[in-house]
Amino acid sequence: MKKPKKLLKRTEYYNYNSCVKYINKKYDIDIRDYAGKPGGKGNTKTIHFDFWHWILHHYIDSIQNPCELTLNIDKMIKLADEEDWVLEILALFEKEFFQNKREHIFLIEW
């Protein structure tokens, strides 16, 4: 019996950081600082809305550097519940990346 060979896994995925840069530029927003950082250049009386921190909160057991994270837009919308700022960002992700398919793999690396 021959020893098994390594198989090449070919996965179609989006680079998460590239998607964030695209959305930020196209819609002139900063999803890492959606409301304007307190004490910074933006609003000084609001809390810090960071979409990456929201993802970490909900997917912390799945995230490492680097990793492939499968995100389902419908599940994320349910997780957002009544967090309007998250729903606004998810609507942009849905419009740009989830039109034909409700679930995608994203490459996460920092």
CA–CA dist 96, 87 (Å, integer): 14
pLDDT at 39 (0 to 100): 55
Going from N- to C-terminal start, the domains of the chain cover 14-108
pLDDT at 8 (0 to 100): 76
CA–CA dist 63, 55 (Å, integer): 9
pLDDT in tens, 57-96: 999 999 999 999 999 999 999 999 889 999 999 999 999 9
pLDDT at 40 (0 to 100): 57
* pTM exceeds 0.75 for this model: yes
pLDDT at 7 (0 to 100): 78
pLDDT at 46 (0 to 100): 64
Residue pointed to by tokens 């680097």: 66
pLDDT in tens, 27-53: 999 999 888 766 555 556 667 789 999
pLDDT in tens, 6-23: 877 778 999 999 999 999
Q: What angle do CA 57, 33, 21 make, to 5 degrees?
A: 95
